[in-house]
Chains A and B, each alone.
Chain A
């Protein structure tokens, strides 16, 4: 028994990716067990390992944690990435919830039917550049510090970097209007644990490929 957290999900980003990022940023080694076909999911459900019959599920500290946010909250608190008090936590939560919403939009793109893809793309780029990125650019501008909250690394910074990189995969110049986000991206990417996670061979997952979409749908539907 390794004692390392064990992640149960399919071999793709989906809803587990923010959790991989957070563990990696905290310098926590983790194992992964991949669902490759429907039977793998059914087995976990029958074992009683999934509280609401769903993944993500993370085995850690004697618990089988489910629900992305519950898992992320636990990891962030345990590894001091959740601010120093209630008010900092409130700010982190607000920022992170906005990022979750954008992540949902970005994540859903790969699964859109062909005739909906263009509109979805336009909407997600619009939301990224007009609703979300301006907020974080302004936060950094207003306090002039290196991190989003409390002048120290928090889950908000980790998740923002994740989202910035994902958005750039869709549109390489998407940060053109956001100089502070550009320097934030470079700065946070250089944090040793995160730099390591960004290198080839890490447990970071690539964007979903068209040929994998059908496979994922088969597992879950």
Chain B
């Protein structure tokens, strides 16, 4: 028995990617068992290991955790990435919910009908540059510190970096109006655990292509 967390999901990013990022940032090695067919998912369901019949599921510390936010909160708290008190946690929670909303939009983009893709992409860029990024740029500007909350690396920083990189995949110059976010991106990317995760060969997953969309549609019947 390895004792390492074990992730159950498809080979794509989807809802598991933020969990991979957080474990990697915390320097925690993890294993992955990939769902490749509908039958793989059915087996997990029939084995009774998915509380609400859904993935992500992460085996960790004797639990079979489900629900993305529950898993992320657990990892953040366990590895001291959740602030030092209730108020810092509130700020981290608020920031993370914002980046979750933004990444959620980007995640669904490949699954949308071709004729709405352009409109949805435009909406993502608009939200990123007028609703979300200004908030984080201002947070960094107001306190002048390296990290979003409490002058220390937290889940909020890891999540924001993930969101920035995903947004840049949609539009490479999406950060042009946000100098502090550009510096933040450089800085957080250089943290050794994160730098390692950003290198080829890591467990970071590539953007979802049409082939992956087809696989996911088959597995989840969507």
Contacts and interface: CB of A to CB of B under 8 A. Distances in A.
Interface of A: 51-53, 61, 63, 65-70, 73-74, 77-78, 86-87, 89-90, 93-94, 96-98, 101, 131-132, 135
Give 10 closest A-B pairs by Cβ, nearest first: A70-B93, A93-B70, A97-B67, A67-B97, A70-B94, A94-B70, A74-B90, A90-B74, A98-B52, A94-B67
A94 to B, nearest CB: 4
Given A86-B74, A93-B73, A66 B67 contact: no
B78 interface: yes
A4 to B, nearest CB: 18
A175 to B, nearest CB: 18
Contacts, number: 76
A220 to B, nearest CB: 14
A74 B73 CA distance: 13
A89 B98 contact: no
6 contacts: A52-B131, A67-B93, A73-B90, A86-B78, A90-B65, A90-B74
Contacts of B67: 93-94, 97-98
Contact of B93 (A74, A86, A87, A96): A74
A93 B51 CA distance: 12
Among A70, A78, A87, chain B packs the most CB atoms within 10 A around the CB of A70
Among B77, B89, B93, B98, chain A packs the most CB atoms within 10 A around the CB of B93
A216 B52 CA distance: 31
A125 to B, nearest CB: 16
A90 B132 CA distance: 28
B159 to A, nearest CB: 13
B222 to A, nearest CB: 13
Among B61, B63, B78, B97, chain A packs the most CB atoms within 10 A around the CB of B97
Contact of A73 (B53, B65, B93, B101): B93
Given A52-B132, A97-B67, A98-B51, A89 B101 contact: no
Interface of B: 51-53, 61, 63, 65-70, 73-74, 77-78, 86-87, 89-90, 93-94, 96-98, 101, 131-132, 135
Nearest to B101: A52
Given A94-B70, A97-B68, 15 more contacts: A51-B94, A52-B132, A52-B135, A65-B94, A69-B93, A70-B90, A70-B97, A73-B89, A74-B86, A86-B78, A90-B74, A93-B67, A94-B67, A98-B51, A135-B52
Nearest to A77: B86
A135 B45 CA distance: 13
Contacts of A97: 67-70
B97 A69 contact: yes
Contact of B63 (A65, A66, A78, A90): A90
A94 B58 CA distance: 12
A201 to B, nearest CB: 31
Nearest to A48: B138
Contacts of B77: 86, 89
Contacts of A86: 74, 77-78
A117 B168 CA distance: 38
Contacts of A94: 51, 65-67, 70
A90 B71 CA distance: 7
A60 to B, nearest CB: 10
A214 B66 CA distance: 36
A51 B66 contact: no
Contacts of A53: 131
A98 B73 CA distance: 15
A93 B74 contact: yes
Nearest to A101: B52
Contacts of A74: 86, 89-90, 93
A63 B87 contact: yes
B98 A52 contact: yes
